[in-house]
Chain A
Amino acid sequence: NAGVMQNPRHLVRRRGQEARLRCSPMKGHSHVYWYRQLPEEGLKFMVYLQKENIIDESGMPKERFSAEFPKEGPSILRIQQVVRGDSAAYFCASSPTTDNEQFFGPGTRLTVL
């Protein structure tokens, strides 16, 4: 059973471009969570999704950020018109239910030039 997969592992974008981050949860997991981690800081919750539904997006900026988890395929976190402040590590995690261990992916390190 492969773990949580994220790609790309590293992404470099220029200001104003779009960033697309992908997350494939562990097999059998229908709950996906996205977190942002700035250097030397903790994990900040962004959004929680179940298949085809956004359950909680309270941690996601209202502009430029969107997330989806389609019926088929990975979950995608999209950042439009990136700015330097978007540079961070973005982790996704998955779980089989809401009150179980969350398994983290390796993260995508986004650098905005």
Chain B
Amino acid sequence: GENVEQHPSTLSVQEGDSAVIKCTYSDSASNYFPWYKQELGKRPQLIIDIRSNVGEKKDQRIAVTLNKTAKHFSLHITETQPEDSAVYFCAAHSGNTPLVFGKGTRLSVIA
């Protein structure tokens, strides 16, 4: 089955700097890659997703890139702000299988 690895597990950046979180997946059939943000004590919420027919997607300060050949995808957050502090999860999905999540990255943005 699918296996998703996520790095780093923790990340601290200065406010205004960029943050990059990387994930790899094992199943070449995976075709949907969402990223979720979970603030302390709250539910995970989708922030951006990408499908296998595109290589990059951007939404304001957030972008995701996908390299199908290497089977990895990354989340990029530019001009980080304190409210970006949270745990971020990547996930991969193919066909009728459930989403498989990475173990999460705890991002701390230091003001």
Contact = CB atoms under 8 A, between A and B. Distances in A.
A56 B8 CA distance: 30
Contacts of A41: 103-104
A60 to B, nearest CB: 11
Nearest to A98: B96
A42 B102 contact: yes
Contact of B43 (A44, A45, A56, A91): A91
B20 to A, nearest CB: 19
Q: Which of A41, A59, A102 has the most CB of B within 10 A?
A: A102
A99 interface: yes
Interface string A40-79: 0111110010000001101100000000000000000000
Given A99-B32, A101-B49, A43 B44 contact: yes
A45 B42 contact: no
Main SS at interface, chain B: loop
Interface string B92-109: 010111111111100000
Contact of B98 (A33, A106, A107): A33
A55 B96 contact: yes
Measured as residues with beta carbon below 8 angstroms from the partner, the interface class of chain A is 20 to 34
B44 A48 contact: no
B31 interface: yes
B103 A42 contact: yes
A98 B95 CA distance: 7
A46 to B, nearest CB: 9
A54 B101 CA distance: 20
Nearest to A33: B98
A103 B1 CA distance: 23
B46 interface: yes
A41 B45 CA distance: 16
Contacts of B96: 55-56, 98
Interface of A: 33, 41-45, 48, 55-56, 58-59, 91, 98-99, 101-107
Interface of B: 1, 31-32, 34, 36, 42-46, 49, 89, 93, 95-104
